[in-house]
Copies of this chain bind each other. A is one copy, B any other.
Amino acid sequence: MALSRWGTDAEAKELNDDIRGLLRDVLGVTAESGAHFDPAAVSASPSRLAGSDLAALADIVGAGNVSIDDAQRLPRARGKSTPDLLSWRLRPAVDCPDAVVAPGNDDEVAALLEWCGREGVAVVPFGGGTSVVGGLMPDSGGLRAVLSLDLVRFDQLESIDPESGEAVLGAGLTGPRAEELLAEHGFSLGHFPQSFPYATIGGYAMTRSSGQSSAGYGRFDEMVRGLTVVTPVGVIDAGRAPASAAGPDLRQWLLGSEGAFGVCTRVRVRVHPVPETVRHEAFRFPDFAAGAAALRAVEQQGAGPTVIRLSDESETAINLATATEEIGKTSDDAGSGGCLCLCLFEGTADHAESRHAETRAVLLAHGATSLGAGPAESWEHGRFGAPVLRDSLLDNGALVETLETATDWSNIPALRDAVSQALTTSLEESGTPALVMCHISHVYPTGASLYFTVVAGQRGEDPIEQWYTAKRAASEAIVAAGGTITHHHAVGVDHRPYLADEVGEVGVRMLRAVKNAVDPHGVCNPGTLIP
The residue of chain B having its C-beta at the shortest distance from the C-beta of A306 within the complex is: B302
Interface secondary structure of A, over-half rule: mixed
Give Cα distance in the complex from A209 to B351, angstroms. 30
What residue in chain B is nearest A502 (Cβ atoms)?
B246
A245 touches B208 (CB 8 A): yes
A385 contacts partner chain B, Cβ-Cβ < 8 Å = no
Alpha-carbon distance A514/B514, docked complex (angstroms): 6
Contacts of A300 in B (CB 8 A): 165, 272
With A245-B488, A485-B246, A518-B506 given, is the CB distance from A408 to B166 under 8 Å? yes
- Judge if A248 is at the interface, Cβ distance under 8 Å: yes
Contacts of A243 in B (CB 8 A): 210, 219, 406, 442, 444, 447, 449, 484, 487
Q: Which of A251, A347, A509 has the most CB of B within 10 A?
A: A509
Contacting B at CB under 8 A, from A385-399, are none
Cβ–Cβ contact B247 & A499, under 8 A: yes
Q: How many angstroms between the C-alpha atoms of A47 and B334 in the bound complex? A: 81
Q: How far is the CB of A249 from chain B (nearest CB, A)?
A: 4
Q: Is the CB of A244 within 8 A of B208?
A: yes
Task: Decide if B509 touches A233 in the complex (CB within 8 Å).
Answer: yes
B410 touches A163 (CB 8 A): yes
Say yes or no: is A510 at the interface (Cβ < 8 Å to chain B): yes
Contact present for B219 and A446 (CB under 8 Å): no
Across-interface contacts of A301 in B (CB, < 8 A) = 347-348, 351
Q: Is the CB of A248 within 8 A of B254?
A: yes
| A491 surroundings in chain B (CB, below 8 A) | 245-247
Query: CA A354 – CA B410 in complex, angstroms?
Result: 29
The answer to whether residues A406 and B241 also contact, given A358-B354, A518-B509 and a CB cut-off of 8 A, is yes
Judge whether B505 and A234 touch: CB under 8 Å. Answer: yes
The reply on A5 being an interface residue by CB < 8 A is no
Known: A484-B240, A511-B248. A165 touches B256 (CB 8 A): no
Asked whether A468 is an interface residue with its Cβ less than 8 Å from the other chain, the reply is: no
Least CB distance from A365 to B in Å reads 11
> Given A164-B410, A358-B351, does the pair A487, B245 have CB atoms closer than 8 Å?
yes
Q: Are A247 and B511 in contact (CB under 8 A)?
A: yes
Q: Given the complex of chains A and B, what is the CA–CA distance between A513 and B236 in angstroms?
A: 15
B511 touches A513 (CB 8 A): no
Q: Which residue of B lies closest to A246 (CB)?
A: B502
Smallest CB gap from A509: residue in B = B517
Q: Is A483 an interface residue (CB 8 A)?
A: yes
Would A244 and B486 count as touching, CB distance under 8 A?
yes
Closest residue of chain B to A351 (Cβ to Cβ) is: B301
Check if A344 is an interface residue, CB within 8 A of chain B.
Answer: no
Are B219 and A483 neighbours in the complex by a CB distance under 8 Å? no
A68 at the interface (CB under 8 A from B): no
Contact mask for chain A residues 16-49; partner B; CB cutoff 8 A; 1 contact, 0 none: 0000000000000000000000000000000000
Query: A495: CB under 8 A from chain B?
Result: yes
What are 9 pairs between A and B in contact, CB < 8 Å?
A: A208-B245, A236-B504, A241-B447, A244-B487, A245-B488, A247-B502, A248-B255, A251-B252, A509-B517
- A residues contacting B by CB (< 8 A) are 161, 163-166, 207-210, 219, 221, 225, 231, 233-238, 240-258, 270, 272, 296, 300-304, 347-348, 350-351, 354, 357-358, 361, 405-411, 442, 444-449, 482-491, 495, 498-499, 502-507, 509-514, 516-518, 529-530
- A sample of 11 more A-B contacts (CB under 8 A), given A209-B245, A248-B255, A253-B253, is A163-B296, A225-B446, A237-B504, A240-B503, A241-B408, A243-B449, A243-B484, A244-B484, A246-B486, A247-B503, A513-B516
The 8 A-B pairs of least Cβ separation, nearest first, read: A252-B252, A513-B517, A241-B484, A242-B447, A208-B245, A244-B484, A164-B408, A242-B444
